[in-house]
Amino acid sequence: MNDLDQTPTEFRSGFVSIIGRPNVGKSTLLNAILGQKIAITSPKPQTTRNRILGIHHLPDGQILFLDTPGIHKSRGRLNKFMVDQALAACSGVDLVLLLVEAGRTPGEGEEFILELLRQGGVPVVLAINKVDLVHQLELLPLIETYAGKFPFREIVPVSARRGEGIDDLVGTLRRLLPPGPRHYPEDMVTDLPERFIVAEMIREQVLRLTREEIPYGAAVTIETFSEKPERGLVVIQAVIHVERETHKRIVVGKGGSVVRSIGQAARADIERLLGCRVFLELFIRVDRDWTESARLLREFGYD
């Protein structure tokens, strides 16, 4: 037996930003790593609007993941806020985890991000997501193409949706982090307040159950969040803000059918999050063109 076998593995910790184009599966990946839903996901681009911290605990490390809005060329105030959040997450971290899709050859969007990373100088790991959608044989040429474009520290194929390759990826990231302390207690998964996650879970159902411009123009705020421990119940009143009167009509639906579905689906997620029964009441309000109003953006938490 040599000395090396006796040395306990060094505790490593640090920040890893998950970045990539909209819709590549960044939030799905974060939830898969944490084994818990803290970030909302949807098939629509620009689902994630804020930077989200997810804390992953290992016996020999702690990885602090930052989930970010997708990076794209943007117009409009809300969009600019989102892209700025993502860009800020590319510097001042220990590692960047760039996520791309297996079914796509790198195009303008990917080049734009690689150029930012070249300027950033932070080490980058590439994860190729959605490998469940492609044939094994397509993967190797794609890995080679990416390897030729940027000096990635590692390239790891994963399927966030199926949970494939996740342990490999996490092991790789831990290995590349510097030795460091545990920054957060072991029972902490995020620093986000429950209220924020609750509002996001409601917004996720708005995204799932409406179409076209409505998802982009919807925000959710929590007006009441009151715990009734004696009844094992939390009472929540939330407002869904939309940009136009016509949007309000769509979100309400015939006889209130759409908002009822939003409430039912969101309540199930929120009950799982809080671990108790939830009484959820939703209101819909028109805040004309709020995505362009500095005051309302601030009020809804996008500043």
Ligand X SMILES: Nc1nc2c(ncn2[C@@H]2O[C@H](COP(=O)(O)OP(=O)(O)O)[C@@H](O)[C@H]2O)c(=O)[nH]1
Residues that bind ligand X (CB under 6 A): 20, 22-28, 41-43, 47-48, 70, 129-130, 132-133, 159-161
The helix (run of H) or strand (run of E) holding residue 222 is strand 219-228
Q: How many residues bind Mg ion (CB under 5 A)?
A: 4
CB of 83 to ligand X, least distance (A): 13
CA 96/CA 94 separation, integer angstroms: 7
Name the DSSP class of 17: E
CB of 26 to Mg ion, least distance (A): 5
Q: Exposure of 194 by Cβ count < 10 A (0-12 exposed, 13-18 middle, 19+ buried)? A: middle
Task: Identify which of residues 65 and 152 has a Cβ nearer to Mg ion in the complex.
Answer: 65
Span of 27-35, 127-135, 151-159, 190-198 interacting with Mg ion by CB under 5 A: 27-35
Task: Identify which of residues 163 and 253 has a Cβ nearer to ligand X in the complex.
Answer: 163
**What does 85 bind: Mg ion, ligand X, none (CB cut-off 5 to 8 Å by kind)?**
none
Q: Verify binding: residue 159, Mg ion, rule CB under 5 A.
A: no
Task: Identify which of residues 86 and 236 has a Cβ nearer to Mg ion in the complex.
Answer: 86
CA 201/CA 203 separation, integer angstroms: 5
The answer to whether the CB of 247 falls within 8 A of the CB of 217 is yes
Task: Identify which of residues 132 and 223 has a Cβ nearer to ligand X in the complex.
Answer: 132
Q: Verify binding: residue 23, Mg ion, rule CB under 5 A.
A: no
**Interactions with Mg ion, residue window 169-188 (CB under 5 A):** none
Q: Verify binding: residue 27, Mg ion, rule CB under 5 A.
A: yes
Closest Cα partner for 166 from 29, 9, 4, 2? Answer: 29
Task: Identify which of residues 49 and 267 has a Cβ nearer to ligand X in the complex.
Answer: 49
CA 293/CA 87 separation, integer angstroms: 22
Name the DSSP class of 255: G
The helix (run of H) or strand (run of E) holding residue 47 is none
Q: How far is CA 236 from the centre of its chain?
A: 23
Rg of the chain on CA atoms, in Å: 21
CB of 60 to ligand X, least distance (A): 27
**278 DSSP β-pair partners:** 234
CB of 41 to ligand X, least distance (A): 3
Contact residues: Mg ion, CB under 5 A: 26-27, 47-48
